[in-house]
Amino acid sequence: MSDKQKTIKNPVSVKGSGLHTGQNGTLTFRPAPGNHGIKFKRVDLEGQPVIEANIDHVISTERGTTIGANGARVFTIEHVLAALTGLGIDNVLIDLDMEEIPIQDGSAKYFVEALQKAGTHEQEAEKDYIIIREPISLEIPEKKIRILLEPAEQFSACVVINFETRVLGEQVARLQRMEDFPEEIAPCRTFVFLHELEFLLNNDLIKGGDLNNAIVFINRRVSQKELDRLAELFDKPKVKVKPEGVLNNLDLYFENEPARHKLLDVIGDLALLGRPIKGHLTAYRPGHHINTEFAKIIKKQLND
């Protein structure tokens, strides 16, 4: 049975603000020919430079994955790349009129929904899989980090996180098959600890953030005065801490939503290899830096 590449049938747009830059703009997915891959076009810049979603173009992994080429860059690409990978879409041109992907609710849900609305189109070109024939691993023992990719008939993943706090200890998330991504992984939102949020706010690093962008974990005692200040900063009438140590700005979709979001991030970062993977991924304490370093190792082994 053949396995053909896919693009989308119709253009579709998602509007919103960037989490870190605060810029408001529009992202538009457009159909692309076979073997085109995923590329971003900065339509707001002179010459409308195009940046291929390629691991060699990663220029930063601080608070998200940023790529740059041809004098342009795009921030926080991992959620949109995860959405495309999760739906098996190989070829698309993404017009962007600002330098950061809209954060929406901090998940891949809105990108998945837009792409599903656009519909998919099977193309003549065959999918070009990365087939894992021997285990590939990366380990940083002092940080208790390990990523392993092993041979398998299709892509599957297991992600383990552990922040060693009362409110967020060890969690495990699994994806048995990519077809389950839209329901099981895509809605899972990013998360942050209160002390990280305060640092980001004080350093003007989340200009587009509000309390609908992330799950906020509280791992220390917080006074009502601090909570009132937080509510004022984010223009909320009132916030409080739930018994499980999460701000009451939202409800969790899954008990292990943070681990599921980390799995989402891994899928998005590995999409920078430009080809779908047939292999089983196990990741302990992944993050954008380790994900992209692992992708470079995979690429190097494939080229050797």
Provide the 3-class DSSP secondary structure of residue 218.
Answer: coil
Would 285 be classed as within a structural domain? Answer: no
Would 258 be classed as within a structural domain? Answer: no
Alpha-carbon gap, residue 95 to 28, rounded angstroms: 5
Of 20, 261, 280, 288, the active-site residue reads 288
Would 61 be classed as within a structural domain? Answer: yes
Distances (CA, A) of 240 to 30, 32, 233: 42, 47, 14
Residue 153 buriedness (CB in 10 A; 0-12 / 13-18 / 19+): exposed
- Give the strand pairing for 24-31 and 72-74: unpaired
Alpha-carbon gap, residue 283 to 65, rounded angstroms: 18
**pLDDT tens track of the chain, all 304 residues?**
459 999 999 999 999 988 767 789 999 999 999 999 999 999 999 999 999 999 999 999 988 999 999 999 999 999 999 999 999 999 999 999 999 999 999 999 999 999 999 999 999 999 999 999 999 999 999 999 999 999 999 999 999 999 998 889 999 999 999 999 999 999 999 998 887 776 766 666 555 556 667 888 888 778 888 788 777 766 777 788 887 788 877 889 999 999 999 999 999 999 999 999 999 999 999 999 999 999 999 999 988 7
Would 240 be classed as within a structural domain? Answer: no
Would 243 be classed as within a structural domain? Answer: no
Both structure tokens of 269:
């970062």
Would 210 be classed as within a structural domain? Answer: no
pTM here? 0.93
Would 169 be classed as within a structural domain? Answer: no
Number of domains in the chain: 1
261 catalytic? Reply is no
Domain of residue 57, residue span: 4-128
- Give the burial string for 108-140 (b: 16+ CB within 10 Å, else e): bbbbbbbbeebebeebebeeeebebeeebebee
Task: CATH number of the domain at 23, please.
Answer: 3.30.230.20
Would 160 be classed as within a structural domain? Answer: no
